[in-house]
Structure 1
Amino acid sequence: MAHFGPDLLLGYEHRPCIKLGTQHLDDPADAYQRVCVDLRTLTEVGLYGYHEVPPPDPLWIWAKDLDQARKDLPIKH
């Protein structure tokens, strides 16, 4: 990543930008539907804390599946 500079957007950063730029997005929060978990510590960083987790350490979980993921994995929040 350092080779490409600070302006590089990874897929999980690029997708919300595309969604936020659509004309018919009723709620901007809809652009963020996955929760990020830091695989190094299994700590949940939430919908918007993904920038704190370096690649390749984010685990993405759909927000609707988070309760089940907390039962299946020792996720800290």
Structure 2
Amino acid sequence: MRIDRISYIVYYKNKEAIKKVEQLDVNVTYNSTRLKFLTIYFDRANEKDIKRKLEQMKGIIRYEPSLLENQKIIFEV
């Protein structure tokens, strides 16, 4: 089975936003409290749904695809 994953950088205003993002169907791999951003991974099939939920969340400043997006990340399970 092949799982196609995508990485995003999410910039936030406060710590409550971190908890909201963690409740989504994503893996939070890095949290920079000083620069206030998260690195998250999720399935590419859920990209539209995750982006829509991030847009509606309070405390999220912006989000963007990670520079790792230039590389194809596929895990075989």
The question of a shared fold, defined as TM-score above 0.5 by the shorter chain, is answered with no
Judging by fraction of residues, say which structure has more strand. Answer: 2
Higher relative contact order (CA 8 A, sep 6+): 2
Judging by fraction of residues, say which structure has more helix. Answer: 1
Normalising by structure 1, we get a TM-score of: 0.29
